[in-house]
With several copies, the nearest count.
Chain A
């Protein structure tokens, strides 16, 4: 039987193009992944055949549309092994999911004296929402340190920091700057011992490895569709039902109320309670299609593929003069991040673009981590299912040309 891996690049129409006269080498997958034909087609088909507003509709199109939408919810729930579809709330993406938890759960449960434990490697989207709720509730922020360039969480500090005042522990699964894969099941188990609620930022893991929320034992998990071969504008928040049912709504309006009077309203249960207004049902259907696509490739195989490329890139790049690689030298997620002594990340990225290579340079929404490491920016190459070894050759060659231009011959 032919494997879907065999002709994988053909599945992604966007890859078949030239940039600045060179074949596109897309290595900006941690920012957003490309979309396979099947996902684009699912969206098309939905708009061309089944589109109608969901819920409350009694006509054929609306019932079909509702079935597709709720089917997508069930598909996403199965993808992460949630207990029930009602534990999946559709959002715009990771950022909105974390805003929802921080505002709704945090607003209702945090008080002065409570501690919100984060880590030093959090993306702004898993950091600023907690700063805001800390200000609002009087809770205090605490940060689990990172060990330095190696980029691991300092687990030796965890017991000291996980005091009974810690009410919530929020951390990333995979760092978008370091590539570190955190031991999420262990972190959840240790948080549970002090009764802290756990929130996992799965933006960088959801599309790259198997995820089982029950095996991990987390309370909430946030992710974005556009980083898992799906479209923009859709993502999800997983939450344990008991927690969700006790939370106040986040956005309010049509579709999430059970009764509205002029002066007060009653809410529906989850997930409706958290999905005010017309949901982004078409993109949710595309998210379901992405789950199918990723499972057809096999998520364990994706993890191995992306990790292998990242380690290969790490080893090849380490040979270059004046380079500083950050993140773990061993096992890592599908990305590498580095800085040159004498060429700024933006110049590197601009020169790479000249070679048709898409890289990202900057602070990657990780300013506090960068400051901690004494950096202002890094270059990041991030891999996905369609990337190949030869693209690492192109990457290394481009870096060599850039160093040569700035007078730092390899």
Chain B
């Protein structure tokens, strides 16, 4: 297996893909958003229970490749307990990682996605769930899509 490919499919990612965390619908969710990646058919719903400005609970449902599923799963573990502002900041860092491959030191597991940058067509897979989560946080009624200019 090439270095690029083993960087893409790191153990962290394979593990989250095989045993997704926080999968399913939270009954007490007070926010949710749908995201899709029209080019490849990936779909993702994110459910949040916001407690004031803070993410008390978070979960996802959806279908897609290993990268998109692992990203959604890992995201839920990272966003739980964060404020909206912290979540936005974290997405900024995550976006930087997947587009440049540069891993900031303190990024813990999110750094596992650095390998994505070598596969530009897969960046959308990694960011789909984040788009949905941020839309849910912002209360944006429009479904998130990885085809927007903002990606």
* A touches B in complex, CB < 8 A: yes
Seen from chain A, the residues whose Cβ lies within 8 Å of a Cβ on chain B are: 20, 55-58, 63, 66, 86, 241, 257-259, 266, 268-269, 272, 343-347, 350-351, 354, 361-363, 367, 370, 376-377, 405-407
Does B5 lie within 8 Å of A376, measured CB to CB? Answer: no
- Which residue in chain B gives the minimum CB-CB distance to A255? B39
Query: Given A58-B121, A370-B41, A377-B40, A347 and B66 touching (CB < 8 A)?
Result: yes
Cβ distance B10 to chain A, nearest Cβ, rounded Å: 13
A-side binding surface: helix, strand, loop or mixed? mixed
Seen from chain B, the residues whose Cβ lies within 8 Å of a Cβ on chain A are: 1-2, 5, 8-9, 14, 18, 36, 38-43, 63-67, 69, 119-122, 125, 145, 147-149
Does B38 lie within 8 Å of A258, measured CB to CB? Answer: yes
9 shortest A-B CB distances, which residue pairs? A346-B65, A258-B38, A344-B65, A376-B41, A363-B41, A56-B39, A362-B40, A347-B66, A377-B41
A268 to B151, CA, bound (A): 13
Task: Show 26 A/B contacts (Cβ-Cβ < 8 Å), sorted by A.
Answer: A20-B2, A58-B119, A58-B121, A66-B121, A257-B38, A258-B145, A259-B38, A266-B38, A268-B147, A269-B147, A343-B66, A344-B63, A344-B64, A344-B66, A345-B65, A346-B40, A346-B67, A347-B66, A354-B1, A354-B5, A362-B41, A363-B40, A367-B41, A376-B64, A405-B1, A405-B9
Q: Inside 8 A of A361's CB, which chain B residues have their CB?
A: 40
Q: Inside 8 A of A343's CB, which chain B residues have their CB?
A: 66
- The answer, among B36, B40, B41, B121, for a CB contact under 8 Å with A63, is B121
Cβ distance A259 to chain B, nearest Cβ, rounded Å: 6
A361 to B126, CA, bound (A): 17
A405 to B66, CA, bound (A): 12
- The answer, among B65, B121, B145, B148, for a CB contact under 8 Å with A347, is B65
Q: Inside 8 A of A272's CB, which chain B residues have their CB?
A: 147
7 new A-B contacts at CB < 8 Å, known A269-B149, A344-B69, A354-B2: A58-B119, A58-B122, A63-B121, A257-B38, A362-B41, A370-B41, A406-B14
